[in-house]
């Protein structure tokens, strides 16, 4: 029991270290960008309606913080729901295509061809079919996540060693046991690679959805209104919050990956409960 507690206490600093240390470089890069941005505005005397200074953008964010936070909350909820929907559907489709070759032969070419269609074109059609509201926005975000998850999970399932599968079968393993203990762990690495890529791309999908089908606001609607009023400071404020949403979603995926794949950071299995 003491050993288990000591291992748990050792993993907590490791988690904080894994999450906080990689932030040093990005924070330094952010400060450099802000410095170059401010110097460019001052040296070239760029008017605020063309490019506001970081100080002007910050002042606008403070003055309109309540609206921006409300828009962030709306966009974040839409993003999370669509992300989970797309990831879940993509995983299920990949498992079905792996288990049934004829389904894969039919669906896989259709999935590849669907990626040639711009998301903005699909968004317009979804607005016609589903109307304005939450449904088309969720579908747009889900579509952004769906294809990378399907492809990566399918590759993970196909990468399982055939000899390992034959060994488990010879030992009397059922199809469910083979999937749970052999195939499913092989999908974790490619799955989280797809989720980390989709975490940032899906923010764009959420914005496009709010541009075409929003009735409840959000950062996308805020950005559109700021552009129509030539409010450049408001535009940059919305962009800053969208960047924050992408970073937060990326870090959440990293945290989930850390919790679901403990063997990548420790040779000792994590104890989920007490007996």
pLDDT of 118: 83
pLDDT tens across 171-193, in order? 887 888 888 888 998 899 999 99
pLDDT of 271: 55
Whether 273 is covered by a domain: the verdict is no
* Domain CATH for 152: 1.10.3720.10
- Determine contact, residues 20/251, Cβ cutoff 8 Å: no
Tell me how far CA of residue 257 lies from CA of 10, 18, 83, 96, 171, in angstroms. Answer: 18, 12, 15, 23, 31
Whether 58 is covered by a domain: the verdict is no
pLDDT tens across 196-213, in order? 999 988 999 999 988 887
- Determine contact, residues 79/210, Cβ cutoff 8 Å: no
Whether 146 is covered by a domain: the verdict is yes
Rounded CA Rg of the chain: 23
Which DSSP category does 118 fall into? -
Whether 110 is covered by a domain: the verdict is yes
Helix 24-43 to helix 54-63 angle (10° resolution) is 110
List the end-to-end C-alpha distance of the chain, in Å, as a whole number.
11
Whether 259 is covered by a domain: the verdict is yes
Whether 241 is covered by a domain: the verdict is yes
pLDDT band at residue 12 using 50, 70 and 90 as cut-offs: low
- Determine contact, residues 83/198, Cβ cutoff 8 Å: yes
Whether 9 is covered by a domain: the verdict is no
Residue labelled with tokens 């599968």: 165
Question: How much is the pTM?
Answer: 0.83
> Which range of residues forms the domain containing residue 104?
65-264
- Cβ-count burial 55-65 (b if 16+ within 10 Å, e if not): ebbbebbeebe
Whether 83 is covered by a domain: the verdict is yes
Q: How far apart are CA 225 and CA 202, in angstroms?
A: 21
Q: How far apart are CA 146 and CA 20, in angstroms?
A: 29
pLDDT tens across 79-96, in order? 999 999 999 999 999 999
Query: Which of 106, 223, 93 lies closest to 153 in space, CA to CA?
Result: 93
- Number of domains making up the chain: 1
Which DSSP category does 205 fall into? H
Show the tokens assigned to 152. Answer: 């990566």
Q: Between 195 and 124, whose confidence is greater?
A: 195
pLDDT of 38: 93
Average predicted confidence (pLDDT) for the chain: 85
Mean pLDDT is highest, among 124-128, 135-139, 212-216, for 135-139
């Amino acid at each position: 029991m003491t050993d288990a507690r000591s291992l748990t206490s050792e993993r907590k600093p490791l988690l904080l270290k894994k999450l906080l240390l990689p932030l040093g470089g990005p924070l330094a890069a952010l400060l450099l960008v802000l410095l170059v941005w401010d110097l460019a505005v001052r040296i070239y005397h760029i008017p605020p309606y063309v490019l506001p200074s970081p100080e002007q953008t910050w002042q606008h964010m403070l003055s309109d913080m309540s609206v921006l936070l409300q828009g962030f909350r709306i966009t974040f909820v839409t993003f999370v729901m669509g992300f989970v929907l797309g990831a879940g559907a993509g995983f299920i489709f990949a498992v079905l295509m792996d288990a049934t070759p004829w389904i894969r032969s039919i669906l896989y070419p259709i999935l590849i061809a669907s990626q040639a269609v711009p998301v903005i074109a699909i968004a317009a059609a979804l607005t016609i079919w589903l109307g304005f509201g939450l449904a088309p926005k969720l579908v747009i975000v889900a579509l952004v996540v769906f294809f990378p998850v399907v492809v990566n999970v399918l590759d993970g399932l196909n990468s399982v060693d055939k000899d390992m599968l034959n060994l488990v079968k010879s030992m009397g393993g059922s199809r469910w046991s083979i999937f749970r203990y052999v195939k499913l762990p092989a999908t974790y690495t490619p799955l989280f690679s797809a989720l980390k890529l989709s975490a940032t791309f899906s923010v764009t999908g959420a914005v496009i959805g709010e541009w075409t089908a929003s009735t409840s606001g959000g950062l996308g609607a805020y950005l559109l209104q700021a552009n129509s009023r030539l409010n450049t400071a408001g535009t940059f404020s919305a962009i800053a919050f969208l960047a924050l949403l992408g970073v937060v979603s990326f870090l959440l995926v990293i945290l989930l990956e850390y919790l679901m794949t403990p063997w990548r950071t420790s040779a000792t299995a994590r104890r989920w409960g007490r007996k």
